[in-house]
Amino acid sequence: MKHYLSINDIDSLHDWVDEAITLKKDPYLFESLGKRKTICLLFFNNSLRTRLSTQKAAMHLGMEVMIMNFGNEGWALEYGDGTVMDKGTSEHIKEAAQVVSQYADIVAIRAFASLVDKTKDDAEEVINGFAKYATIPVVNMESSVGHPLQALADAITLKENETKKRPKVVLSWAPHPKALPHAVANSFVQMMKLQDADFVITHPEGYELNPELTQGCQIEYDQDKALENADFVYVKNWSSYSEYGKVLSWDTNWTMTQQKLGQAKFMHCLPVRRNMIVEDAVLDGGQSLVVQQAKNRIFSAQLVLKKILENL
């Protein structure tokens, strides 16, 4: 594998999850693999889990780690071909990506959706620009369209907690005061399509995700109905895709409660707004898997870096 840009770069989810669980048992087993190799983590947006878990994963593999908050410390990048750069941008992605490639062996990038320009966001100009012009492998640490490291960690967490062969997994929208991107939900959907599970997506009308991604998925607008007999409930807010980037509803009837959760396990990628997305009782109770999901971010990143290092 050269790049890890989306869930489509996973050749066998089942094998990857098993290998990540093996790595988790002995994280330093491959500590020589990354010796004298450098990973550069470029953040155009904030992070807690992605930054620290990817750094930790690289450390387990013996790598050197360089981190830059590109969003507020780097030059404003230009992506257009043939642009006369007489406005706000100072450096072209062509040079930036090639220059980073002189300093590191792998580059990992976080660049969220603008939620303003759907065409540009769907084109993933930052991550695809780096993949096009860098001469080293590129890892997606959440782009405008996907968060494949999170979805791989979620697959690991599902496997660790499954009690039946074909669990019922529900992805439920929840209210949030700000417009949030679709990346986590998109990658979760893509990952679930690779699973043997009864998978249901529930959200208010108007919150349909990109239909190209949800094609073939069961969509249920009645949250109570969707949650019946669920084994896992993954809760996430996202803004409207059809009315791009808009918040259409704050309906707190969609907030996840202990009563609605029933016996199911609760999942969320974090950070989470308490008593907006989910009530305290769920997060503080024994059915919440959110900290385990965050821990598994180390091993999803470590598996991806290991596969790339083995191919360098």
Binding to ligand CP, residues 226-265 (CB under 6 A): none
Between 192 and 290, name the residue whose CB sits nearer to ligand CP: 290
Q: How far is the CB of 57 from ligand CP (least distance, A)?
A: 13
Q: Which residues contact 160 (CB under 8 A, 6 or more apart)?
A: 21, 292, 296
Between 209 and 226, name the residue whose CB sits nearer to ligand CP: 209
Between 43 and 244, name the residue whose CB sits nearer to ligand CP: 43
Binding to ligand CP, residues 263-282 (CB under 6 A): 269-271
Instruction: Copy the structure tokens of residue 62.
Output: 């013996």
Between 45 and 242, name the residue whose CB sits nearer to ligand CP: 45
Site size for ligand CP (CB under 6 A): 9
| DSSP-assigned letters across all residues of 236-256 | E----TTTTT------GGGSB
Q: How far is the CB of 82 from ligand CP (least distance, A)?
A: 34
219, 208 in Cβ contact below 8 A? yes
**Structure-token match 């809760």, residue found:** 235
Between 128 and 150, name the residue whose CB sits nearer to ligand CP: 150
193 vs 212: CA distance, rounded Å? 12
Between 78 and 121, name the residue whose CB sits nearer to ligand CP: 121
How far is the CA of 11 from the CAs of 70, 143, 251, in angstroms?
Answer: 31, 20, 39
Q: Angle, nearest 10°, between helix axes 290-309 and 148-161?
A: 120
Between 133 and 266, name the residue whose CB sits nearer to ligand CP: 266
Between 226 and 301, name the residue whose CB sits nearer to ligand CP: 301
Buried-state track 279-302, b at ≥16 Cβ within 10 A, e below 16: beebbeeebbbbeebbbbbbbbbb
Question: By CB under 6 A, is residue 187 in contact with ligand CP?
Answer: no
Binding to ligand CP, residues 116-175 (CB under 6 A): 142, 150
247 vs 60: CA distance, rounded Å? 40
β-bridge mates for residue 201, sequence order: 171, 219
Q: How far is the CB of 274 from ligand CP (least distance, A)?
A: 16
Buried-state track 7-27, b at ≥16 Cβ within 10 A, e below 16: beebeebeebbebbeebbeeb
Residues making up the chain, counted from first to last: 312
Q: How far is the CB of 87 from ligand CP (least distance, A)?
A: 30
Q: How far is the CB of 142 from ligand CP (least distance, A)?
A: 6
Binding to ligand CP, residues 4-63 (CB under 6 A): 47-50
Instruction: Copy the structure tokens of residue 259.
Output: 């009563």
Q: How far is the CB of 5 from ligand CP (least distance, A)?
A: 16
Q: How far is the CB of 237 from ligand CP (least distance, A)?
A: 13
3-state secondary structure of 71: helix
Q: How far is the CB of 141 from ligand CP (least distance, A)?
A: 8
In the complex, the residues that contact ligand CP under the rule CB under 6 A are 47-50, 142, 150, 269-271
